Amino acid sequence: MKLNGGQMICQALLNEGVDTVFGIPGGAIMPLYQTLPQYPGLRHILVRHEQGASMAADGYGRVTGKVGVCFATSGPGATNLVTGLAGAMMDSVPMIAITGQVAREAIGTDAFQEADVTGVTLPVIKHNFLVMSAEELPRVMKEAFYLARTGRPGPVLVDVPKDVFVEEAEFEYPETVELPGYPPKMEGDPEAIKRAADLIAQAKRPVIFAGHGIIISEAYKELQEFAEKGQFPVTTTLLGIGSFKSDHVLNIGLPGMHGSAYANHMINDSDLLIALGMRFDDRVTSKVSLFAPNAKVIHVDIDPAELGKNVRPTVPIVGDVKHVLQQLIPLVEKADRRDWLSHIDELQRNHPLWFEEDDVLRPQDVIQEISDSTDGRAIIATGVGQHQMWAAQLYKFKEYNSFITSGGLGAMGFETPSAMGAQVGLPDRVVWTIAGDGGFQMTLTELATMVENQIPVKIALINNNSLGMVRQWQDIFYNHDYVATLYSGNPDFVKLAEAYGLLGIKVTRKDEVGPAVKQAMEWNGPVLVDFQVEQTENIYPFIPPGTGVDNIVEDPRLVKKRVR
């Protein structure tokens, strides 16, 4: 049958199982928007900024495992997507961005709202297409979705000139994709699997390092079976949180720059790291030469480029982590590691994360209350900074894949739109976004989108009137010289919430935290709770960049208590 380009895209989206699109129209993409009413199966959510569209598509894609989709017009519309696309690339999130482009004859003339979006995005996404005829669209859309969701997932952009949206051609949607140069490898090499099993059999102090790959491949059952059979303590990367339940006795939590001291000491004392679907980024390793100096390394990842990029593995295994674990589990003997686990228990007793010291309202109190009130079963979306690390440390995740954060790119402003996308994707789940007052103000216009679409996200604003993480670094490295980090002009966030149509709640005392969280949970709609916390509270532990675990800085209050 003959369809125009806009109809082809809508039909392709339906064929690929898409039900929701986030976006904003504009001149170049208007023909696609005018086609949307013909396809009632596609829900379009009109955001207030294209960055909100890409970040909402990201949150949607993470929690559902489906491909998130966003639309934007040419020029500034398309370039406003870039931060969200780059974040999705670094965090391996499946996403499709459809952008309008100026008409074919105007390309290269610096026409109104023209930008070379394929050139702009090429370095920060998995792949992109510039579609120069409607007859290409069925193949391009099929390939785009295949690339976005297979292998190591990532964002793919399809740039479509305005006149291609209205051009007609035969629509025949392909059933298969033929990309000879793109063969994702699912099974691990049997010889490498055997070598890994041999290393495990020799290890006395092994540690599993679980990353985002566990969540992407849905290897939850395999990871638990593997950990329990071998009695391996499990530590997770920031994006691996939610791959192994927080209340499992073998879960040792988050290591790295702001991970627990006990998890970092455990890695330092280990003789074998079993790295599953993670990439040994600098926030985990700090100075590589000082990282796990006595440990051999088994590294499993579907992306061969990650093997040996930062840490040289003893046994590299290319493959999907779910398949590799299924191959490895039968070769691993049941083990008794009581001595090793007892040592880790002692580390946990000697190096607690925090303790309640006084009646001052601290960010930790807020995270703890949200964790308890939701029984660890909410989806938590965060921005980037101190609040992100407190959430990662203290929220007890009892449901898989429930932590959404901008890990690799570290994009402030991610909290509100990603939470919105997650709530749209899983409307029956409770979604809290834990936000800092700095990042929140970068994308707060999406509050209007939440109200307009009745998206009941609960917002915990950790308000310390500063860019807290930067202020902390100024404390430590710049002798308390606060340059451009303290906010003296923040708005009244409760009035702001009310202006947008949300319920706004202000909390200034510790005894108000519980009632405020309860009220937010009972409110049938989006809520903003302004928690006015202690400005000088810092996130601990902290491993300074370029150092190792021997230089870890723990909370001085804990150190003082331990000495006493």
pLDDT at res. 558: 84
φ, ψ dihedrals at 297, nearest 5°: -135, 125
Q: Tokens 């290409």 identify what position?
A: 136
Alpha-carbon torsion 420, 421, 424, 429, what sign? negative
141: its two tokens: 């859309």
Structural domains of the chain, with CATH: 2-170 (3.40.50.970), 190-350 (3.40.50.1220), 363-545 (3.40.50.970)
8 A C-beta contact, residue 32 and residue 9: yes
Nearest residue to 111 via CA among 141, 78, 74, 144: 74
Number of H helices, E strands in the chain: 24, 20
Say if residues 221 and 195 touch (Cβ distance below 8 Å): no
Q: Is the torsion defined by CA of 91, 547, 316, 347 positive or negative?
A: negative
Report yes or no: 407 and 418 within 8 Å, Cβ to Cβ: no
User: Is the omega angle on the peptide bond into residue 541 within 30 degrees of 0, that is, cis?
Assistant: yes
pLDDT at 562: 66
Catalytic residue among 34, 105, 112, 172: 112
8 is catalytic: no
pLDDT tens-digit readout, 124-155:
999 999 999 999 999 999 999 999 999 999 99
Rounded to whole angstroms, the Cα distance separating 262 from 557 reads 17
Determine if residue 256 is left, alpha or beta; phi over 0 gives left, psi from -120 to 50 gives alpha, anything else beta: left
Tokens representing residue 151 in the block: 């292998």
pLDDT at 359: 83
Picking from 27, 14, 59, the residue whose alpha carbon sits closest to that of residue 173 is 14
Q: Has 113 been annotated as catalytic?
A: yes
Start-to-end C-alpha separation, the chain: 80
Give the whole-angstrom CA distance, residue 266 versus residue 139: 50
Distance CA 249, CA 412 (A): 33
pLDDT tens digit sequence for 529-551: 999 999 999 999 999 999 999 99
Cα(95)–Cα(61) distance, rounded to whole angstroms? 7
Residue 297's DSSP bridge partners are: 273
Catalytic residue among 7, 16, 22, 50: 50
User: What are the Cα distances from residue 94, in Å, to 58, 91, 127?
Assistant: 8, 9, 12
Active-site residue, from 266, 389, 420, 469: 469
The whole-angstrom separation of Cα 54 and Cα 95 is 8
Residue 89: the pLDDT is: 98
Contacts 24+ apart (CB under 8 A), 522-525: 523/456, 524/456, 525/451, 525/454, 525/456
Is 50 one of the annotated active-site residues of the chain?
yes
From the list 282, 328, 279, 326, the residue with the least C-alpha distance to 301 is 279
Identify the pLDDT of residue 200. 98
Active site residue 221: no
Report the C-alpha gap between 218 and 198 in whole angstroms. Answer: 26
* Neighbouring residues of 431: CB distance < 8 A, sequence distance ≥ 6: 378, 379, 381, 419, 422, 423, 456, 457, 458
Low-confidence ranges of the chain (pLDDT < 50): none
DSSP three-state, residue 503: strand
- Structure token digits, residue 69: 């989709």
Among residues 126, 162, 458, 506, the one annotated as catalytic is 162
112 is catalytic: yes
113, 231, 326, 348: the active-site residue = 113
